[in-house]
Amino acid sequence: MTVAPQPLTIDTGKSGPVSALLSRSDAPRACYVFAHGAGAGMTHSFMGALANGLCERGIACLRYQFPYMERGSKRPDPPAIAQAAVRAAVAKAAQLFPGVTLIAGGKSFGGRMTSQAQGAAPLPGVRGLAFAGFPLHPAGKPSIERADHLAKIDVPMLFLQGTRDSLAEVALIEGVVKHLGHLATLHLEDGADHSFHVLARSGRNDREVMNEILDAFAGWAGAL
């Protein structure tokens, strides 16, 4: 069942208001504050499918734009501006769902900005972080420097990753998660790329992959 999202506005402070979409079910057990990737905004099909799937599993989802995307720019905001938007979105979710478990994170760039915000100063009320394709390194330039700040985070983290992700080599993301210890959980999707797309010859399709990451997310969230 498709849940029609509710349009909202979030005030990010100096960068002005940004658009948001709220997908909710009756009496949600958690709310996911979901930031988009660098190249596509909150209305991207992946964002919509994840939000709707979580809603069906009893988890509300608040999607929102970063200021640059709201302006129609292709250049992502500097970290300070992006992190301010993350904090504003989390505060909005807390207002909408008092007493409900808050989870923050995002797709690629959005997840990285959320983790940086949490690492700089804990996001009020957030019980866990969930990343859909954490961008560990640029394509073709494997490294783990982008994970350095994760050691400062003291809430559970879920990494949803594809084994063909060119922005996170499997061995490297496995090493990062192992180093983070009990706070980090890694869910790998065999054959999926950074967009969680699988090749036809894999014998699976993108819908099956989406259902698997949704179930993994819901199971992890239930244990928070």
> Residue 34: which of 47, 24, 52, 16 has the closest Cα?
47
For CA atoms 154, 28, 85, 217, the dihedral sign is positive
Whether 91 is covered by a domain: the verdict is yes
Domain that holds residue 193: 6-222
Residues 106-140: pLDDT tens digits? Answer: 999 999 999 999 999 999 999 999 999 999 999 99
Residues 76-85: pLDDT tens digits? Answer: 999 999 999 9
Residue with tokens 């797709």: 107
Q: CATH no. for residue 17? A: 3.40.50.1820
The mean pLDDT value for 37-61 works out to 96
**Which tokens sit at 78?**
């500097």
DSSP bridge pairs for 11:
17
Backbone angles phi and psi of 51, in degrees to 5: -60, -45
User: What are the Cα distances from residue 92, in Å, to 32, 62, 85, 169, 219?
Assistant: 12, 9, 10, 34, 25
Residue 4: pLDDT band (50, 70, 90) is confident
Cα 139 → chain centroid: 19
**SS3 call for 34:** strand
Cα separation, 149 vs 105, in Å, equals 15
Whether 41 is covered by a domain: the verdict is yes
Whether 207 is covered by a domain: the verdict is yes
Whether 19 is covered by a domain: the verdict is yes
pLDDT of residue 183: 98
Whether 1 is covered by a domain: the verdict is no
pLDDT at 3 over 70: no
Residue 2: pLDDT band (50, 70, 90) is low
> Residue 32: which of 134, 100, 118 has the closest Cα?
100
pLDDT of residue 174: 98
Whether 139 is covered by a domain: the verdict is yes
Domain count, the chain: 1
Whether 211 is covered by a domain: the verdict is yes
The mean pLDDT value for 21-50 works out to 95
pTM: 0.96
Residue 161: pLDDT band (50, 70, 90) is very high
The mean pLDDT value for 165-184 works out to 98
Cα separation, 14 vs 17, in Å, equals 9
pLDDT at 1 over 80: no
Whether 208 is covered by a domain: the verdict is yes
A 10 A CB-CB count for 143 gives 11
